[in-house]
Amino acid sequence: MSFFVIPAVDLKDGKCVRLVQGNPRHQTVELDNPVSVARGWQEMGARRLHLIDLDGALGGEQRNEKIVREIVSALDIPVQFGGGIRSFKDACNLLDLGIEKIILGTVAMESPELLKGLVEKYGRDRLIVALDSKGGRVVTKGWVEETGVRAADAAKRFEELASEYLFTNVDVEGMTEGIDLDIVKEVVDSTKSGVIASGGITSIDDIQAVKDAGASAVVIGTALYKGKIDFKEALKLEEP
């Protein structure tokens, strides 16, 4: 089974930032040139980039489209993108732009028929369903609205509609204090689709543990930007 280490570039107000627990008032990283940051990860050996429009995730509409286009044009590696994709048209525009995979969270929970339409047009391999979790239950609309649905149960629901899930444990996101491995295992064990683990990954040991738990990839942000994880060392754990 393949396993990838994916660096994250989160966009807010035209900059690359990192948030703690998804709180827009608590930024720990702010870099002025996201295109340069993205290109840097590719040059260091990344095989895929995780790109999120936080303005879109929090506000419901994408506000960094120009930068997204520039990043996609600048890179030779696949880009997975999410944040503010709320309609079929939004999704089609991004996939036609050259985004390899789109990440759908809120709209997946609220409009599964939209996912079915995208599968018919593009195939399930280009869709990732985001399972953002607080206390083990899925949250939507920029991590602020609770659904009451357990992440593992949601994973079973979308089995036929997504090639991968992006499971983010919001409780530990951006805190660089380590992962909650039990909940990662619960989601991995609930589905045959790949599970990309995100949130709290702070060390090489965390990456190894998530890999051993059966995840198909990890997304790392804050720990890379703060120098807690050496990216080239992390890449040694990949299984292409």
The Cα 82–Cα 57 span in angstroms is 8
Using alpha carbons, list the distances in angstroms from residue 79 to 48, 172, 189, 202: 6, 24, 26, 23
Catalytic residue among 10, 53, 55, 90: 10
Task: Tell me if 80 sits within 8 A of 51, measured CB to CB.
Answer: yes
Catalytic residue among 53, 55, 90, 132: 132
Which residue shows structure tokens 């543990």? Answer: 209
The Cα 56–Cα 177 span in angstroms is 27
Q: Which amino acid is at 44?
A: M
The Cα 198–Cα 144 span in angstroms is 18
Q: Identify whether 182 is a catalytic site residue.
A: no
The Cα 220–Cα 7 span in angstroms is 5
Q: Which amino acid is at 224?
A: L
Task: Tell me if 75 sits within 8 A of 104, measured CB to CB.
Answer: no
Q: What is the largest distance, in Å, between two alpha-carbon atoms of the chain?
A: 42
| Residue 22, CB-side half-sphere exposure with 13 Å CA sphere | 24
Q: Identify whether 205 is a catalytic site residue.
A: no
The Cα 13–Cα 15 span in angstroms is 6
Q: Which residues are catalytic?
A: 10, 132
